[in-house]
Amino acid sequence: MSLSDEVSARGSGTAASSGREGSAPRQRPSSWWFLGSELKQLFRRRRTQALLLALAAIPVMIAVVVRVSTAVPPGRGPAFLDRITQNGLFVGVTALIVAVPLFLPLTIGVVAGDTIAGEAGHGTLRYLLAAPAGRVRLLLVKYVGAVAFCVAAPLAVALAGAGIGAALFPVGPVTLLSGDVVEPGEALSRMLLIAAYQTVSLLGLSAIGLFLSTLTDVPVGAMAATIVLSVASQVLDQLPQLEWLHPWLFSHYWFGFADLLRQPIGWESFSSNALLQAGYIAVFGALAYGRFVSKDVLS
């Protein structure tokens, strides 16, 4: 929304954006400028920062609780919880596992649902479109902004987890699911791989959120609908009667990142996940395009 008056109202806008609304049509701002200001706007927002902080608090909470309590018997609670006392790096992995079903979709829902509906809700959408930016380009820039958040969110969990784990517990060679042991350096790179897996996992949900966001002028509605869909998809994924549907649910491979903790690494779930998410991006991207391009923007 640096494209909008909000930034200029805060006094942090560039000359280009603060001068844009009133002035006569000027040359099209370059796409990179457009994208850069969108990203700047997204990550400068208090809300985005609060979401990332909340995500980073998950591993901190887990680590502190494990530190002050007695040993956990193996096989209880989320996977790897019992390993944390032996190796701090597992804090990040455990936190990522805990964050997958609800916390990550929740934050993505907030960001993706806000993309278009947020501008409409603030009454700034028509200014954006009045500027010669183009609806398709606006849609693309908004989606890339949501993708950037998909990258940042799992990364926040993983890095906060690795940091607090290293601070509170010993760090050493990491035991993989297969029983093989790898050095901390490789373990860290595998954790980043898991974060990348989750980024990919959330791309489909972001596309759904973007589409829902074009449907309404009330951002809260689009956010809630996106989050509800992510929960509904996971519930459907648990019903054995709907087994034929499972490979088509965007949440189906969300827990498949366990394959990255095996030796040798199993890439099948990564690639099937990427393919599935690409399908969701194509379908809901096309839907969002159809809706947004033919929409009467009144606010």
Of 35, 151, 231, 258, the one binding other proteins by CB under 8 A: 258
The residues near 250 (Cβ < 8 Å, ≥ 6 apart) are 204, 205, 208, 230, 233, 276, 277, 280
Query: Quick check: 190 binds other proteins (CB under 8 A)?
Result: no
Burial 83-112 (b: 16+ CB within 10 A, else e): bbbebbbbbbbbbbbbbbeebbbbbbbbbb
Q: Which stretch binds other proteins (CB under 8 A): 30-38, 152-160, 183-191, 264-272?
A: 264-272
Mask for 212-251, x = binds other proteins (CB under 8 A): --------------------------x-x-----------
**Near other proteins in 99-128, by CB under 8 A:** 100-101
DSSP one-letter string for 38-51: HHHHHHHSHHHHHH
Judged by CB under 8 A, which of 29, 36, 134, 279 binds other proteins?
A: 279
Does residue number 184 form part of the binding site for other proteins (CB under 8 A)?
A: no
What are the angstrom distances between the C-alpha of 51 and each of 112, 142, 185? 13, 18, 28
Taking the C-alpha atoms of residue 290 and residue 284, their distance in angstroms, rounded to an integer, is 10
For the segment 280-299, give every residue that binds other proteins (CB under 8 A): 282-283, 285-287, 289-290, 293-294
Contact 93, 63 (CB under 8 A): no
- The number of residues that bind other proteins (CB under 8 A) is 40
Q: How far apart are CA 101 and CA 99, in angstroms?
A: 6
Structure tokens that stand for 263 in this block: 């030796």
| x/- map, 140-179, other proteins, by CB under 8 A | --------------------------------xx-x-xxx
Give, as ranges, the residues between 41 and 80 that touch other proteins (CB under 8 A): 74-75, 77-79
Which residues are bridge partners to 175 per DSSP?
A: 181
Taking CB under 8 A as the rule, does residue 271 contact other proteins? no
Q: Does 98 bind other proteins (CB under 8 A)?
A: yes
Residue 83 near other proteins by CB under 8 A: yes
**Using CA atoms, how far apart are residues 153 and 182, in angstroms rounded to an integer?**
26
Question: In whole angstroms, what is the distance from residue 259 CA to residue 177 CA?
Answer: 9
Of the pair 4, 87, the CB lying nearest other proteins is at: 87
What is the three-class DSSP state of 95? helix
97 touching other proteins, by CB under 8 A: yes
Task: Identify which range of 8-16, 94-102, 117-125, 159-167 contacts other proteins by CB under 8 A.
Answer: 94-102
3-class DSSP assignment, residue 287: helix
Residue 86 contacts other proteins per CB under 8 A:
yes
Instruction: Give me the residues that bind other proteins (CB under 8 A), please.
Output: 74-75, 77-79, 82-83, 86, 97-98, 100-101, 172-173, 175, 177-181, 238, 240, 255, 258-259, 262-264, 266, 268, 279, 282-283, 285-287, 289-290, 293-294
